Structure 1
């Protein structure tokens, strides 16, 4: 400490006037001196004090006074050095204001991308490792204080610009090239300080991450969310634009995507995808074409073995995909009209138009939205019991609307009336029956069974499974009977045999038997009609509700040629034996 204790501090330090108007960087002084920041805010305020008057004040001893004098001299050197307004110049200006030992710790332990071991720094300074740890904390405090000083606003500005240039996450080699544009080496002290202030940036393997904003997580989240929203795949150009929007350096994106994701070229478009599953590959194909595709078109461009069934399953089971039409699929994110069925398209259109819509406009608009639905199919579905078309408008059928008019029961093939409570169905055993499929039956059967449009009824038998009959509204003239596979099996009926089902519409029960084709014609007719066939013609006429002109004509018109032949044979046999009449 100087012996001239009675002289003002400004007279003891050369060129003191250079810093007289500057704020005192209390961050570089012992923390206990911060209590004088209001009393002596500028160097000129301290310079007016003598060494004697300063040391007479609390917390300012000889050591603290020497620190004040050393800090002032470094501030003068910095002020007179004329640092250029460049990133390196701004960083050097701050570093040169720091005590040499603290600077060593700062540049070796606090700010570098690759900090030196504590023991190595301790050996350099000739102190214990614990001392390095304590002084590292002091170095951090001093750096924070200097960065708040108006004198170093230029450094803050250059650091913000550097953070913008580098982005949140980039290869260290690219960062080195960017720093070289300002004549800096990645491993220099000035570059380390700039990267620290800009982030701080931290090394992650061969990459640098802006740890302040969790740069790696920020980029990974942005990419993952974009791919997830796009069903696991996206055009590489789109993902590149998205990552640029997230702040990533343009030259870092390609390297990042290559290291992180899978890629393929489809229809001349480079596609980035997260996995090699069937679903993500489908999404990749759709993104490449940017339009709805058929199952066959998707399969052609997939480039991996896949069964059409697995494609159809992936498309129908994943929320990311929607049917854009009867035969094509699209990505949900495209926000195209969704197709589920022709009925759904008609119903949705009617609902969107307030409950009824002009029929011609409905047909035109739906066909325009779903071009692979034919006009004929639309008209067929619009004619089903689900809808009512009248006076040029179409609407949904309601519970208050009367049921649609249907043909009489005797027009239905294979149907016979036993009495007012029992009707009989003759149903052939087909491949569909053996597979367990239900089948369509005439609406007149449902009507005769007192089933309302859109409803169903179950008929029971203690020896067999129940039989369900429904009057469906999504077909033009059909009811539906459930599976008869177990019934056929129980009766030993095989392909080509005929099942006779007698429905008691009052009791909701049924009986079932296999037509015995080896029996005489009259007995077979009795099985079919449930009536006394001693007079075959009269019995059949009654079973057909006494139609005109004749029972045989009606049977042939409705397609029951075999039954008509049986009737003709039975009548001939009755005439021959004299037991009945033709």
Structure 2
């Protein structure tokens, strides 16, 4: 390859071109210096005022000068030699000048280097912020962004070395950043710059689970361990595989559960009882739990340990205080139970939530054992121990239905152990339609009436509206009670 720096004609071209410029008039040289070749060109109006001519006249002078200089023999000679420089379309200007130092020679009359002169006269390349790009910076940025996205193939991050188009490029990391991407541990973040994107890169780089503390230390930004745990819990790309360890969900590792749920699973899988020594060995080998913790949980509700065997405890003393028909916001709709709730920040983040214990009897749930319900979004988990009934994360429903925090919905528990989350549209006007919508009956209320409201809370058909309103009031459903009393049924 022939380099500009090796060509003697360039030195003579610089001298000759400098002479050409000096033979121009003072006004023309000033226009070249302050507008054509300046790093930050003056406006036409500024030069027009300076030389007491019109703005149009300055524009005409500029056009004439550009045409004359573009056809100059010296410029064409350097332009030809630049074509022999291996620019690779995008390179740091410093690398180009290191390879071809004569491009840095100054044209004294204009106080600018050769590369600046040629850049302004030859539109086949552009230099900006220290980058030499062909045909211009904007096009080079678009091309690189397209190359990265194409190489990522839908992934949120990709190793920089896997973008073939950037292989061997000088200062490729700096260029990718200049194009608007963020990098972390050698990965280009394609679809986000946040905590979870960085955490995914860290786990991908590590290739094995890491603790919350280790991930936090490698995020490269201020973050508490607790907040890292919260954001990982709310992102389906991650799976908690131990008390404080995380893996990528794509690895297919078993998800960690509380010690109580782990014991319940093992007891259930072993026909209702399991030897304590076997339970200890199994759980301590798979998870970072101690034998003493296993023993403590296995000896307390909802379990008991008798003669070295762990089993579910009796449930006679753990009957919920209220029935489903007496529970606020819980309604019998057809063959299902519908619980009205508002989407909270915890729901949107992916945290679980508590449910009325009355659902235990209504759904026939086995005490102490986790239950899996079938839904349109996959398995939905319920947990039931001595203190409360809990519903697993419903974040995927929230995201799928684009539900905002504060939106009113019904968690619908159907026969055959099914589950769904249904958006509720509640009319504002007090009356029949609002009462029915608040109780889980969709539509405008035209197909439903007081009989459906009676059945939803266990009242016999024929109960008067006033008695029905009183039942809703006693349950704590004052909003429905007010609607019943406000309208003739």
**Same structural fold, with TM-score higher than 0.5 when normalized by the shorter chain:** no
TM-score by length of 1: 0.33
Name the structure where helix makes up a greater proportion of residues.
1
